[in-house]
Amino acid sequence: MKLLALDSSGLVASVAILDGETLVAEYTLNYKKTHSQTLLPMLDEIVKMTQTELSEVDAIAVAAGPGSFTGLRIGSATAKGLGLALNKPIISVPTLEGIACNFYGTDALICPFAGGTEFEELVAQEAGPVEDIIKKCNELGQKLGKQVIFLGDGVPVYKDIIEEFCTVEHSYAPAHLSRQRAGAVAIRAVRLYDEGKAEPASDHAPIYLRKNVFRYHGQLMH
C-alpha cells in the first residue's frame, strides 16, 4: 500500500510518502511561515525528489483534527482536492492519534493515549482545562502503574502547570518525537484503512473541537 500523508493541524507542516513498510520520505517544517506558504511547495518537492507519480498512491491520509482551524482547513482542502482530482480515498486520522504514533510500541501512557503493539484510546479527544487533563493522567497513571509521556506543541505552553499538578512519574518527548509528523499519520492511517475507515474525498471534512461558550443574561454558559 502506498500512502501520501499530510499534517498541518498545528505549528508544524509535514508531508510524507509511505510505501508498504518503508517510509520513503518525510518533509517536516516548524518555522515562522504559514501552512498556505509551505504545504504545497513541500508536497511538490517531496514528489519530485522521490520521483513519485501521485496517481500511484492508493489513498491520501490527513491529520483531520482537532487543531488550528486555519491549519486544518488548509490540510483538509489540500487532501480533498487531491482526492477528487486523482479519484483516491481519504483516511482521516485524528490529530492526537497521529501524534501518539510517534511512540508506537511503548507501554507508557501517552497523553491522552496508551500504547502497546496496539493503541487503546483511554480518554476521548476533548477540549477542556489543562488541569483536568493532568488529573486524568494522574488517575490513569496511578491505576495502571505507568509513567506518562507528554508531547505536542502545547507542552511548552503548559509545562509549568504540568510540573505543578502532575503527581505520577512522567517525562517529555524529545524534540524529534514531540510534534506532529506526517510519517506517524501515515502509520496510523494504514490501520484505519484496514479497518475500512477510508472515505470518498467528497465526504471528507476536518474535525473541529472546542468548548461552546454562550452568553445569557450576562452569564457565561458552557
Q: 217 pLDDT exceeds 50?
A: no
Hey, what amino acid is at 87? Answer: N
Residue 116 makes CB contacts below 8 A (sequence gap 6+) with 105, 106, 107
Q: How many C-beta atoms lie closer than 10 Å to residue 73's C-beta?
A: 16
Mean pLDDT of 50-74: 92
pLDDT of amino acid 19: 96
Could you read off the pLDDT of 154-172 as tens digits, one per residue?
Answer: 888 889 999 999 999 999 9
Please state the rounded mean pLDDT for residues 6-31: 94
Cell numbers of 70, please? 486555519
- Side chain identity, residue 99: I
- Global confidence as pTM: 0.79
Neighbours of 53 (CB within 10 A): 9
How far apart CA 172 and CA 77 sit, in angstroms, is: 32
